[in-house]
Amino acid sequence: MTAIGRWSAADPSQTPVWAGATLLREPTPRIATDMIICTVAAVQVAASFASKVAISFGPDAPHWGCFDESDPTVASAPVSEQWKVTKNKLTGESRAWHADLLAEDEYGTWLYAPAGTTNRDRAGRPVSRLAMDGVQLITRAAWWTAWWWQDGGITVDIATPAERAANSADYVDLELDLWSRGNDFGLVDQDEYDAARDAAMITDEQDHHARAAATVVCRMLAGHDEPFATLGTQWLRWAQATAR
């Protein structure tokens, strides 16, 4: 995981754009003109954060926080069915898991996966488990999907729009990821994205959409726009409260 760039939402004089922020390392010429420069407090911070929220065989983490049942945004949504979500890699590998449906809204489909949720490969063999509770948003047509995690972090996969069927969603992970914690956010795995692009695993059309999606998500994180401002966290707290 390689983190580049630095930006802090605490400083309104700075604007997250493709270039112009303080770099932690020199980007490739292509990235210098196109690729988004986002906040990274330090490479160690990103690595530590990733290790906490990554799918792993770590111990289950406890529930956190309280849910305000007076909030009409989430008070009436039932957990009534499960969806199967499949994340496909450009290498041909895939990971699939089941999650509880929370709701459908203008942003997409909200799903809850508690700590210990099993991820399986194409053959159905268990390969890993979620280390903590998380809520995932499967967007309606956008080129990204996002997770809100129990420890307060957010991760975003730049990915193809999900193909939906009855209670299922499949998408292709395009290797480019963002993370957010508080007023900081960052772009990671850019080296993996570049390698996939150079190997012709990412088409020109996918490249165009991936870069555009990264720009949009970066601006949403910087502006504390929904669903990143409060909505995802509200869904997570509601799901945790009703699952107890």
Sequence ranges of the domains in the chain: 3-57+74-243
On the CB side of 172, CA atoms within 13 Å amount to 14
CATH 2.40.380.10 fits 3-57+74-243, yes or no: yes
**How far is residue 177 CA from its own chain's centroid?**
7
What local confidence, expressed as pLDDT, does residue 215 receive?
96
Q: pLDDT tens, 73-104? A: 443 444 459 999 999 999 999 999 999 999 99
Contact in structure between 16 and 219 (CB atoms under 8 Å) = yes
**Residue type at 112?**
Y
What local confidence, expressed as pLDDT, does residue 244 receive?
63
Contact in structure between 161 and 139 (CB atoms under 8 Å) = yes
Low-confidence ranges of the chain (pLDDT < 50): 1-79
pTM of the model: 0.71
Distances from the Cα of 52 to the Cα of 132, 230, 234, angstroms = 8, 21, 21
Contact in structure between 142 and 160 (CB atoms under 8 Å) = no
Q: Which residues pair with 84 in a beta bridge?
A: 98, 168
